[in-house]
Amino acid sequence: MNSKAAVLDADFKALIERLSTKYGAASNACLMARIEYLIAQLTDRGRVTSDWEMLRRQIESHYTVPTPSRSRVHMHSNTSVGTDGEKIYEFSQEAYTELYGGRVSTPGTVIREVERGDLRDLRSGDWYLYIVAEMDQLVIHNEPMSLTELIASRTVTEDGPLPVIHPTLAERYGFRVKAAGEFSPVIAEGGAVVGVVVNSKSGHFCPAPQTLNVACRAFARVAPDARIVPVAVRLRLTD
């Protein structure tokens, strides 16, 4: 391990200790620190330590706690089997119109299908929404999420414009997806995409953690030289 890597490791451990003492080991502050450290390791392709898998499991464990009920939303999501035998998650078009209709305006350049090499124009380390549509199209929202949205979710209020949500990405695909979640590209100084951290966090479609296999295949197609890092999210909705 070189001296720079050793300093990074020491700084991270000290930061986690301070945040754990102040906010708790399961706090969002610790979660964000772990995610940023994971991305920092991916930025240098050779910097994968023996603690790397443990770090990924710690990030996954943050999402296994029960989340508040979203009955108005998740009750409108159903599953079926597609023509290729893979599970399809479908959000009700009628419910989308009733709950969100007329409150979102997204230019075509903001929501787009991704082809090989298209991730290079995103910001490294920022987080974006994605879906994998029924015919395996990888669709992303081209604008990164704010820190508030990442931690507290994209809350819909009674007034004001609608924040972009996963059904918005899926609207032109019949609200039918194979996978949905968030991703963060890791882009080297020369512009090469060296890593993609991808999760299955979608409160509207509530995809199973296994859908990460579909998502990882989709990201591997558009970034074949990148290391794809899946982070499973098990949303357990409470009553």
pLDDT digits (tens, 9 = 90+) for 13-61: 888 888 888 777 767 778 778 877 877 777 665 555 556 677 777 777 7
**Nearest in space to 196 (alpha carbons), one of 182, 186, 188:** 186
Count of structural domains within the chain? 2
204 shares a domain with 117: yes
Does 179 lie in the same domain as 114?
yes
At 3, the pLDDT band (50, 70, 90 cuts) reads low
Confirm if 198 and 228 have CB atoms less than 8 A apart: yes
Report the distance separating Cα 176 and Cα 173, nearest Å: 6
- 134 shares its domain with 161: yes
> Residue 109's pLDDT is what?
59
20 and 105 in a single domain? The answer is no
Tell whether 126 and 47 lie within a shared domain.
no
User: Does residue 236 belong to any structural domain of this protein?
Assistant: no
Widest Cα–Cα separation across the chain: 58
Domain that holds residue 75: 71-231
Give the residue from 62, 88, 103 where a domain finishes: 62
Q: How many CB atoms lie within 10 A of CB 4?
A: 10
Location of structure tokens 């610790």: 30
Single pTM value for the model: 0.76
Distances (CA, A) of 151 to 76, 113, 182, 215: 24, 26, 12, 21
pLDDT tens-digit readout, 73-113: 555 678 888 878 889 999 988 888 887 775 665 655 588 99
pLDDT tens readout for residues 158-169? 555 567 889 989
Beta bridge partners of 231: 199
Do both 42 and 158 map to the same domain? no
> DSSP letters of 110-142?
TEEE--TTGGGGSPTT--EEEEEETT--EEEES
| Residues 173, 86 within the same domain | yes
Cβ atoms of 67 and 235 closer than 8 Å: yes
- In this predicted structure, the answer to whether residue 222 has a pLDDT above a threshold of 90 is yes
136: pLDDT confidence band, cut at 50, 70 and 90? very high
40 lies in the same domain as 99: no
